[in-house]
């Protein structure tokens, strides 16, 4: 494989990541098949796969029979070869996930909170990390890093996003306490507390990354991700990689104004769990404690009304996304209840169809769903360490090395 503007070491790392990515996509692949699909020479593949086997990132899954000469070995990912640890700090919960090298979730734990302060976040994160260490034992040394996914602007829009009555009684104090999240202090603390490199990302971007790498089905290469939690965010995916823009803010869907301001001036206020909580409360309906309760007739009427109103508030922004991005799909993930999500999508599709002359992309639930934020956080160390990002190496056309 030829390259431009890169060192031989960068070429080796990139080729290594290409091979790992291919083995992950095609378990039990042979070296011959790797050569056919990458254009790399047999010698290069032999050297790289031998190194990966020695480091226990790959394992021999068997031998290819029926070929002349010496049988070729089949390769697969060694699940226990590496782990990714993720922490998701959100406005209403803190969670942790541990992924093995195949992307399977080994451990998922969550604690409910309401706008966590520094002290509370550190206490909960410490407990969750200790639980991960107990699970892994000696394999803790195989953890490649710790990913942190959290929302931007944790201390803003408290008047609409805070629904806890005690916290609402003193929003000024809460805002001051949450100013901690304006800095990278928690990220630095996580690195120091664990001895691991910390990879920090906005929660919507982390969720989109989990969709790219952990979906049971191969996702589109061009999609826009709507992440709905206590507030709302977005991430733009182009050519199967998250697009960040000039200032790292590309895809900031929540910071677009709503159509009328009925549920908040900004989309992050309107398309949110906070908005839904406020709406149900105004209808004298308590937040359902079980999945079955969401399908009660009284709730169905209320959530259908909320979905229609909020879809109308955000539809012009979605039309703009379609016009500017031209995505294959708009994926809606995060923590919207299962009873609410399809109704919102149905209303959004109807309104967009009436407002746009452009081809309507598929609008559907994201595959990683409710746990997208924390799984995305856990993916970050594995992605940054092993994924063949385009910016790792400037490639020319594929050729043999």
Stretch 145-158: mean pLDDT: 97
Residue in 183, 182, 95 with CA at minimum distance from that of residue 147: 95
Stretch 366-394: mean pLDDT: 81
Burial class (CB in 10 A: 0-12, 13-18, 19+), 367: middle
In order of 12, 13, 16, 37, 50, the CA distances from 9 in angstroms are 5, 6, 11, 22, 17
Q: Which residues are within 8 A (CB) of 102 and not within 5 positions of it... i.e. 6 or more apart?
A: 24, 77, 79
Stretch 365-394: mean pLDDT: 81
User: Which range of residues forms the domain containing residue 18?
Assistant: 8-77
86 and 71 in a common domain? no
54 and 89 in a common domain? no
Is 70 exceeded by the pLDDT of residue 394?
no
Residues 28-81: pLDDT tens digits? 999 999 999 988 898 999 999 999 999 999 999 888 765 565 567 889 999 999
Residue in 263, 162, 246, 146 with CA at minimum distance from that of residue 206: 146
Residues 263-284: pLDDT tens digits? 999 999 999 999 999 999 999 9
CA 88 to CA 95: how far, in whole Å?
5
Number of domains in the chain: 3
- pLDDT for 341 equals 97
394 domain residue, yes or no? no
109 confidence band (pLDDT: 50, 70, 90): very high
Phi, psi of 55 (to 5 degrees): -85, 0
Is 60 exceeded by the pLDDT of residue 321?
yes
31 and 97 in a common domain? no
Stretch 178-201: mean pLDDT: 97
Is 50 exceeded by the pLDDT of residue 391?
no
Is 60 exceeded by the pLDDT of residue 170?
yes
197 and 116 in a common domain? yes
Stretch 211-216: mean pLDDT: 86
Residue in 377, 374, 368, 381 with CA at minimum distance from that of residue 83: 381
**Contact of 380 with 208, CB cutoff 8 Å:** no
Looking at per-residue pLDDT, the higher value among 4 and 73 belongs to: 73
387 confidence band (pLDDT: 50, 70, 90): confident
178 and 69 in a common domain? no
Phi, psi of 395 (to 5 degrees): -105, 140
């Amino acid at each position: 494989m030829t390259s431009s503007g890169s060192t031989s070491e960068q070429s080796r790392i990139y080729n290594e990541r290409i091979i790992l990515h291919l083995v992950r996509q095609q378990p039990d692949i042979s070296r011959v098949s790797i050569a056919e699909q990458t254009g790399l020479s047999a010698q290069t593949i032999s050297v790289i796969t031998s190194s990966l086997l020695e480091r226990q990132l790959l394992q021999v899954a068997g031998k290819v029979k029926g070929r002349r000469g010496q049988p070729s070995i089949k390769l697969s990912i060694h699940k226990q070869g590496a782990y990714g640890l993720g922490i998701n700090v959100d406005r209403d919960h803190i969670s942790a996930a541990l992924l093995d090298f195949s992307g399977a979730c080994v451990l998922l734990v969550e604690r409910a909170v309401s706008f966590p302060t520094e002290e509370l976040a550190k206490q909960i994160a410490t407990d969750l990390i200790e639980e991960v260490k107990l699970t892994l034992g000696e394999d803790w040394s195989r953890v490649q890093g710790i990913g942190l996914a959290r929302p931007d602007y944790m201390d803003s829009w408290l008047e609409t996003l805070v629904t806890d009555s005690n916290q609402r009684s003193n929003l000024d104090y809460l805002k001051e306490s949450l100013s901690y999240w304006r800095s990278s202090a928690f990220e630095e603390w996580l690195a120091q507390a664990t001895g691991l490199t910390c990879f920090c990302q906005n929660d919507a971007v982390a969720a989109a990354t989990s969709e790219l790498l952990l979906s049971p089905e191969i996702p589109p290469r061009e999609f826009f991700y709507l992440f709905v939690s206590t507030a709302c965010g977005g991430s733009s995916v182009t050519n199967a990689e998250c697009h960040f823009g000039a200032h790292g803010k590309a895809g900031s869907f929540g910071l677009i104004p709503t159509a009328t301001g009925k549920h908040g001036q900004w989309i992050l206020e309107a398309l949110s769990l906070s908005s839904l909580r406020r709406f149900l409360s105004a209808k004298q309906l308590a937040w359902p404690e079980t999945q079955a309760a969401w399908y009660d007739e009284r709730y169905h009427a209320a959530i259908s009304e909320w979905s229609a109103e909020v879809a109308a508030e955000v539809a012009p922004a979605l039309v703009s996304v379609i016009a500017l991005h031209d995505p294959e799909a708009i994926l809606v993930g995060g923590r919207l209840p299962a009873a609410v999500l399809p109704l919102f999508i149905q209303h959004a599709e109807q309104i967009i169809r009436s407002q746009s002359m452009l081809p309507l992309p598929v609008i559907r639930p994201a595959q990683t769903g409710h746990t997208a934020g924390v799984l995305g956080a856990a993916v970050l160390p594995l992605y940054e360490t092993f994924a063949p990002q385009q910016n790792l190496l400037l490639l020319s056309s594929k050729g043999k090395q």
